[in-house]
Amino acid sequence: MKLINRQPMLTRRRLLQVTGAGVAMSGLGLRPAIAAGYDRPFTWISPRGTLEVLDDYAYWVAVKYGYFGDLSIDIQPGPSDGTATVKFVDVGQADMGFPSPGVFSFALQQGMNLKSVFHEAARDTFSLAFRKGEGPANIKDIEGKTILLGSAAWQPIVDPLLAAQGVDISTITYVEAGWPTWGTALAGGQGDAALAWEGLRAEWIGTGLEFEYWLGVQNSPLPANTFVVRAADLEDPDKSAFIGQYLKGWAMGLEFAEHNPRAAVQAVFDQFPTLASNVGPELGTTSILQQMNVFRGDWANRQGWGWHDMASWQTFFDLTAQIGQTDPIIATDVCTNDLIPAANDFDVAKVTADAEAAELTPEMAAIDVEAIRAGMFSQAIGANG
C-alpha cells in the first residue's frame, strides 16, 4: 500500500512515459481491416485494466446482435493505471477512452486536446464503501479519515465528489491499495473507506466483500464517465462520421438492455465464461441494473443516449477549479452533443424486438428482475446529511 502525496499527482511527461518498447495493449487482438479515416481498427480502451466486467454490456450486446455492422473496431483493457484511458488516446495508441470526469479534467489540465462525445454515465456512479456498521451518519464526518484507492490516479474522482458535499478534502488521506485488491484491503481492516461504483457493488458481493455504501447515484449532482476522443478527429469528416456510427452501436446496446437486462447480462457472460461462473445470473443482473440506472440518467430531460447535460458538467468543472484541481474549464469547449443525433438514429422497434426475442438460459430466465430492482439500494446509508 502506498500513501498518496497531495502534491500535483502527475505531470504530462510522466503521463506519456510508457514502459517497454512502445505501448503493449493485450486484449482481443486487432482485426486486419482499417476504420474509415484511420490507419487501423478504431480502438476503445477501458479505464479499468480489464474487460471482464459487466460495465461494458452495451458493447457486447452490440457485437452479439450485429449493431456495429461492418465497422472495423477493437476493444482493449489497457494497463491498470487509471490515466491510461486518456493518455493512450492522446498519444494515438487508442481512439476513444472512457475516463471519469476527474481523470478527463486532469487530462485537459495536462494539455491533452480531448473532447467528450458521448456521456454514457449520466448519473454519478461513484460511491464510498465502508465496513458494515462504520459508515458515517453524515458524509462530512469522513473528514480526517483514510480512503483506499485502487490507483493514485483516482484521487481526482474522489476530491470533487467530497467537495460537492462540503467536505474539507485537505483532511482526507488517500492510500493506493492496488488493483484489484483495494476492496479486500478495506475488508481486512485497512483504511476507513474505499472508492467504489455502481455495478462493482454487486461484483464485490460475488467475491465475498460485504460493505455499506454512501452512494453518489443518490446524493451527488456530478456527472460520471464519458467517451472521449482526440478533438482533431472531430474536424476530419470521415473520422467524425465513423465515430457517430460507432456510437450508434453503443446506443443500441444500451437501448437493448432497457428491454431485456437479463439478455444483456447473458451477452457479457457468453463473452467471458469465467466472469459468468464467478458472478452468476443474480449478481450479474444486479450489477447491470445498477449501471443501467446510471447510464439512463434523468431520461425525461435527456435528448438521447450519450447526451451531455452541460449544466451538470459546468458544475463539475467549476468545482475542480474551486478546489485547485484544474484551471477554469468551459464545458461546451470540451464536451459536444454534435454526434448525439447520429448515435441515436436507429430503429428502436427493431432493437426492442431483438431484446424481447432473445433466448435466456434457464438459470437466467429464473431471475426476478423486479425483485432485484426493489432491493438495489439495500446497502445504502443515508450519509449525505
pLDDT at 14 over 90: no
Q: Thinking of the domain 27-122+226-373, which architecture would CATH place it in? A: 3-Layer(aba) Sandwich (3.40)
Provide the mean pLDDT of the chain.
91
Strand, helix or coil for residue 114: strand
More confident residue, 34 or 351: 351
Phi, psi of 317 (to 5 degrees): -65, -35
CB 293 within 8 A of CB 123: yes
For 140-197, the pLDDT digits (tens) are: 999 999 999 999 989 999 999 999 999 999 999 999 999 889 999 999 999 999 999 9
Using CA atoms, how far apart are residues 331 and 324, in angstroms rounded to an integer? 17
- 61 is written with which cell numbers? 450486446
pLDDT for 159-169, tens place per residue?
A: 999 999 999 99
> What does the pLDDT average to over 226-230?
98
> Is 60 exceeded by the pLDDT of residue 30?
no
The predicted pLDDT at position 6 comes to: 54
Would 27-122+226-373 and 126-223 be classified into the same CATH topology?
Answer: yes
Residue 5: its pLDDT value, please?
60
Residue 359 has pLDDT above 50, yes or no: yes
More confident residue, 268 or 48: 268
- Position 241 scores a pLDDT of 97
- Residue 20 pLDDT exceeds 50: no
Domain boundaries, the chain: 27-122+226-373, 126-223
Q: What is the dihedral of CA 41, 46, 52, 53, to 10 degrees?
A: -130
Compute the average pLDDT of residues 131-135: 96
The three grid cell numbers given for residue 37, joined into one nine-digit string:
479515416
- Secondary structure (3-state) at 205: helix
The pLDDT, as a whole number, for residue 102 is 95
pLDDT tens-digit map of 280-314: 999 999 999 999 999 999 999 999 999 999 999 99
In the predicted model, what is the mean pLDDT of residues 118-139? Answer: 97
- Of 214 and 30, the structure prediction assigns the larger pLDDT to 214
**Mean pLDDT calculated for residue range 331-360:** 98
CB-CB contact of 118 with 142 (8 Å) = no
- Cell numbers standing for residue 382: 443515508
In order of 56, 187, 270, 360, the CA distances from 273 in angstroms are 15, 27, 6, 15
Phi, psi of 327 (to 5 degrees): -75, 165
**Closest Cα to residue 48, out of 110, 7, 97, 10?**
97
List beta partners, residue 148.
175, 194
Superfamily grouping for domain 126-223: Periplasmic binding protein-like II (3.40.190.10)
Check the CA dihedral 63-67-73-74 and report its sign: negative
pLDDT at 23 over 70: no
Q: Average pLDDT in the 318-329 region? A: 97
The pLDDT of residue 65: 98
pLDDT at 27: 40
pLDDT given at position 167? 98
Cell digits for 259? 428491454
Cell 482499417 identifies what position? 34
Q: What pTM does this model have?
A: 0.90
